[in-house]
Amino acid sequence: MRKLSEIIKIYIICLIIFFFSSNAFSQNINHSVEDVDLAHEIVSLLEKNHFTKKRYNEIYVKASEIYLERLDPTRSFLLDHEVLDKVQEDTKYDLLDSQISISFNLFKIYQKRYKQRSDLHLALLKEIETLNLNQDIKILLDRSEAPWMKSEEELTTLWTNQFINSVIQLLINGNTNEEVITKLTKQINCQRNDFLQTRNEDVFGLFINSIASSYDPHTSYFSPRRTEDFEIEMSLSLEGIGALLTSDCIYTSISSLVPGGPAEKSKTIQAEDRIVAVGQEKDIELTDVIGWRIDDVVNLIRGPKGTKVKLEIIPASSPDNETEIIEITRGNVKLEDQDAEKRIINVNKNGKSLSLGVIKLPAFYMDFEAYNRGVYDYKSSSKDVKNLIKELKRESVDGLILDLRNNGGGSLLEANALAHLFLGGGTKVQVKSSNGRIDRIGRIRGFQTYDDPLIILVNRASASASEILAGAIQDYKRGLILGTETFGKGTVQRLETVSKGQLKFTESKFYRVSGGSTQSKGIQPNLILPSIIDSEEVGEGLLPQALKYDQISSTRYKNFNRLGSSLPLLKKMSDKRVGNSLLFSHYEKLMLLREERKNQKWLSINLEERKAKKEEYENIILTMENELRKKLGLNTFRTYSDYLDREEDIKQLDLQEEVLNEAANVMADFIYYSFNPAIILTKEAS
């Protein structure tokens, strides 16, 4: 087995090769004929099939702007004349061919400047003792809309000030000069090493996704590797060893093991073990992966179930850093973190104890591959929720809260299937395609799995499929929607295989049965509850190129008439509880403080001034925290450091839990004052 000293020698040689070949590496970043062909294929598909059907010559200027925003978001590398010259460059050639060439050339300039900045920062590290850290200078915090620099001298000044800011930030966080040097050296070399591993496909992805995003925010190109990742996200399963990896730019390490996965079952590997080489079952020599991109390491480790992978690791427990080789048989890994989960909350209402079921659904997941193969027992959110509802009914719950907070959506099929559990037969959502055709999604007939009191809990991060379900429940008057205005994603995407990878593009919009779209507008809750998510920072309508809200005709749907006439009373009672909540009041003050800091545009690079500002802010936070804890009868903190070093907050201080408890109180009021199971067939205009 290899010693650490031998491994370090290999890594140093790799670094030397990287650094001395950086100029040649930059020259190797060039688009290929295949890139051009793929770009034409993707653009043609978008022009014909995207919901907006825009031609490339209508959007290429916006696409160029998006490319620049993503390439140099802080406007810290490219110069004014370079940007203008490239964007406005006339050409005798095909417009798309010209733009891909311009984009790759801009990346080469960016890459050259990136190396220059890291060289400058490494040089400044050697002179850190002589730096003036108490200047009367301020830097702009958000440079996304700042003017482009006009000269390399201006860039050098900016880079120097950015470096000084990094030094000051580390010093005011309690680091010594030696620790600052060590951390910044590692950070600069790590970022440089990552950047030097940029490939043609990365630059092409940046270019083509700038075009895709100019159509709308949810249209994007997936490389073959990203396609595999997307399928894993949707199915909650993969074939591999079941280990989550992290990288410190030298080693790829085990962050954690998936419970029940092959790696955990093997008992040969554990968290914080470092991987130095990977090989397949029949390999005699393993491939060194020191300094590799983490996605390349992942690619070597993944493989079909039943096959074996060899890993050379430095065990976290090894006292002398000696390596050992282990072998793990790959298998199906179930990513259960996004599985639906249930619990029960007990609430007292007018002397009666109510048992309320809660189902937390983080995503609308579905194993598409198993579904397409006709597997009966395929994995899906609707099946899991249905089983959990049956379990809760056996426990005789009085009502159900479906928690969709932070659920960004997923499968449209699953949104429909979940709505069916609560609504039975009938249209759940209308879908308008790019050719103007309107389809109504939902089984004509069917039975409800759950017909008792229902609340859907949402927040600003509830999107897409979550909004379809919440909108249907609200239109059918089947249950209450609680929380905040939702995200507002009302578009449907389709995956189309292209010659290399896949294209996800918006081909249709969905509309509620009442006729209104959720696009940009979202779902307005029946009762508003507090949230830590700032609605002015998060939401579909805030995204560049987001499609607009509109309406179509309503369709026939049931009116379950479950809300009664007591909504004003429910709101009044909830508002009173929220107003009396110490935790809600505390978070409201924190939000106001955050808003003040968010509006700060400039940052001083004066060490003493920054220390004073930091101490002032920490005292405000500490005072607010201790005031809350005193009122709740909890121990207070002596210093801000004690506050930061606290163990995980108990439920009394968990805002998410406080919101859920208020939802449970609303449910108790709902049951007592409102629940009315009569069903009326109606057609209501939006």
Average pLDDT value for residue range 309-333: 84
281 has pLDDT over 50? yes
DSSP 365-417: -B-HHHHHTT-TT--BHHHHHHHHHHHHHHTT-SEEEEE-TT---B-HHHHHH
Average pLDDT value for residue range 3-30: 49
Q: Which distant-in-sequence residues (6+ apart) come within 8 Å of 674 by Cβ?
A: 562, 563, 564, 565, 566, 567, 570
> Residue 534 has what pLDDT?
82
89 has pLDDT over 70? no
Average per-residue pLDDT in the chain? 87
The answer to whether 210 and 64 have CB atoms below 8 angstroms apart is yes
The answer to whether 457 and 403 have CB atoms below 8 angstroms apart is yes
**CB atoms closer than 10 angstroms to residue 49:** 17
Average pLDDT value for residue range 238-259: 82
8 has pLDDT over 70? no
Lowest mean pLDDT among 187-191, 488-492, 534-538, 676-680: 676-680
Which domains, and CATH codes, for the chain? 31-215 (no CATH), 224-334 (2.30.42.10), 338-498+507-579+665-682 (3.90.226.10)
What is the rounded CA–CA span in Å between residue 2 and residue 297? 20
In the chain, what percentage of residues exceed pLDDT 90? Answer: 61
What is the rounded CA–CA span in Å between residue 71 and residue 75? 9
Amino acid at 373: R
319 has pLDDT over 70? no
The answer to whether 686 and 551 have CB atoms below 8 angstroms apart is yes
pLDDT tens-digit map of 556-577: 999 998 887 889 999 999 999 9
Q: Tokens 């919101």 appear where? A: 659
> Residue 20 has what pLDDT?
43
Closest CA to 666 of 582, 524, 566, 560: 566
> Residue 237 has what pLDDT?
61
Confidence at 18, pLDDT banded by 50, 70, 90:
very low
End-to-end CA distance of the chain: 71
> Residue 13 has what pLDDT?
44
> Residue 448 has what pLDDT?
92
- Which helix (H) or strand (E) segment holds residue 640: the answer is helix 640-644
Confidence at 674, pLDDT banded by 50, 70, 90:
confident
What is the rounded CA–CA span in Å between residue 501 and residue 347? 52
Lowest mean pLDDT among 188-192, 317-321, 442-446, 609-613: 317-321
What is the rounded CA–CA span in Å between residue 66 and residue 262? 42
Cα dihedral angle (257, 258, 259, 264), rounded to 10 degrees?
-50
Query: Which of 130-144, 228-242, 251-265 reaches the highest mean pLDDT?
Result: 130-144
pLDDT tens-digit map of 164-185: 999 999 999 889 989 999 999 9
Average pLDDT value for residue range 523-527: 96
> Residue 19 has what pLDDT?
46
Average pLDDT value for residue range 445-469: 94
> Residue 224 has what pLDDT?
83
Give how far Cα 237 sits from Cα of 121, 337, 367, 663, 674, Å. 43, 11, 8, 32, 42
Average pLDDT value for residue range 386-404: 97
Q: SS in 3 state form for 134-182?
A: EEEEEEECCCCCCCCECCHHHHHHHHHHHHHHHHHHHHHCCCCHHHHHH
- Which helix (H) or strand (E) segment holds residue 59: the answer is helix 56-71
Average pLDDT value for residue range 495-500: 92
Amino acid at 452: D
pLDDT tens-digit map of 361-387: 999 988 887 888 888 888 899 999 999
Catalytic residues: 464, 475, 489
Closest CA to 209 of 103, 109, 293: 103
316 has pLDDT over 90? no
Strand ranges for 480-621 from DSSP E: 480-483, 491-497, 502-511, 527-528, 557-559, 602-606
Tokens of 341: 């989960």
pTM for the full model?
0.80
> Residue 675 has what pLDDT?
60
Confidence at 23, pLDDT banded by 50, 70, 90:
very low
The answer to whether 43 and 211 have CB atoms below 8 angstroms apart is yes
Lowest mean pLDDT among 109-118, 135-144, 280-289: 280-289
Confidence at 214, pLDDT banded by 50, 70, 90:
very high
